[in-house]
Amino acid sequence: MSERDRGSDDWQPWDREPPSGPATEPVPAAEPQWASAAGAEPTTELPAGPPPPPYQPISGSWGAPPVPPSASAAHPVSQPEPRPGRRGPGWGALVGVALATALVAGTTGGIVGGALADRGSGSSGTAVAAPQPGAGATTRPRGSVANIAATALPSVVTLRVEGADGGATGSGWVYDDQGHVVTNNHVVAGAGDSTITVVLSNGKQVSGKVVGRDGSYDLAVVRVEGADLTPLPVGSSADVVVGDEVIAVGAPLGLDSTVTSGIVSALDRPVTPGQQDDQSFINAIQTDAAINPGNSGGPLLDMQGRVIGVNSAIARVPGTSLGGQSGNIGVGFAIPSDQVATTVDQLIRTGKAEHPIIGVYLDSSYDGEGVRVADDGPDGDPAVNPGGPADEAGIEAGDVITAFEGRPVTDDGELVVKIRARKVGESVKLTIVRDGRERDVTMVLQGSE
């Protein structure tokens, strides 16, 4: 499939990637503001009223240098029983879906309410002992928040990133026994080739390097050196239902080893944070567990202690500035674990992620029912990529896509999120309207980096 450049303001390639990568993703109209990694949770402005507009994350740090980890220490005690681990890549993924909202992501920069003492020594090349589960793992009932938190905390780390644009603090969690840590792309985007300081739950510091990251899914993998850490078990987000209890772990506002709890408030929220040239497409799990800047990249756990999502963004009240009241209001978003597993395995293997596409340019100026395929692409290119999935399924310029897998779509970003939640090679069904007549078409998703 040929790569294409971004189009004009009237239409933009929402699911096709040109040589510049994420820059091809169009910007939804009336998007809310998000604060993102490198010092802030991607934040989004909640819509004033229905229907909600597509949201975009605003990437950037929240000010001064990264906040040193808090002085709270982990509680060393023996672990009740071994947790299942993974050896390197190999986790498959299931599928998720989507809707849209305003958010703020999980890194933080600057001072947090007072001076926090820098604890732990710098990485020295000597192997650092891994933290042990805290007292709650043995003194509280199995399946309780205290028990799960005490067992999971040693596998959750704080990432301190120094980049050209300043410093930031975010969260991450151990994915496998090869030292791979999962976090958000916006947490490490400013790191470049620099070494990242990884702070363990017992305060010890080791070094880490980015091995792969993907802005479109807002995921990144950091390889930790000098510590033997235990991976967290990964659950299936496909099994999650609204009302399930969940636990969020991370370093909000630089306060590492922080645990909050809540429930799954909604599923399949199409969230599209970011700017035109750095946009993410997330079919998010919504939760009311408290998430604040610094939580980005941390795990969202179920009541069996399994990762079912990666905390990525929070909503903020309309009219509040990124430097003002942009903290938790009970509307947070996490990337589903099924998507995480697929993307992370690709990042570990190749350093890049593959994105499913259908091969069309969408008309962002269209405001009728459904999503309209543009009449033309940029520079006279066809709006439907010749030989692409949509072309082979019979979709033409001007067709209106009204449903994806039987579920209505009302916005460009929503359709892209639904497509991105699938896997390359999957068959999907779209409902289209042409000349007033409706019909279903089936196509096989192709991949694009």
Q: What's the Cα-to-Cα distance from 105 to each of 170, 274, 347, rounded to whole Å?
A: 9, 10, 21
Catalytic residue among 176, 214, 218, 302: 218
180 is catalytic: no
Coil vs helix vs strand at 167: strand
Q: In 335-360, which positions are buried (b, 16+ CB within 10 angstroms) versus exposed (e)?
A: bbbbbbbbbbbbbbeeeebbbbbbbb
186 is catalytic: yes
User: What is the spatial distance between Cα 34 and Cα 37, in angstroms, rounded to a whole number?
Assistant: 10
Strand (E) positions, 186-257? 196-199, 205-214, 219-225, 245-250
Contact 449, 353 (CB under 8 A): yes
Q: Which residue has the tokens 């309207």?
A: 433
Q: C-alpha angle 216/258/41, rounded to 5°?
A: 30
Catalytic residue among 186, 256, 261, 391: 186
Catalytic residue among 61, 123, 257, 296: 296
Which tokens belong to 82?
């071994």
Q: C-alpha angle 217/28/351, rounded to 5°?
A: 20
Strand duo 307-316 + 43-45: pairing: parallel
- The torsion angles phi and psi of 114, rounded to 5 degrees, stand at 160, 170
- Report the DSSP beta bridge partners of residue 285: 334
Q: How many CB atoms lie within 10 A of CB 44?
A: 35
User: What is the spatial distance between Cα 75 and Cα 153, in angstroms, rounded to a whole number?
Assistant: 9
Q: C-alpha angle 433/4/340, rounded to 5°?
A: 80
Residues designated as active site: 186, 218, 296
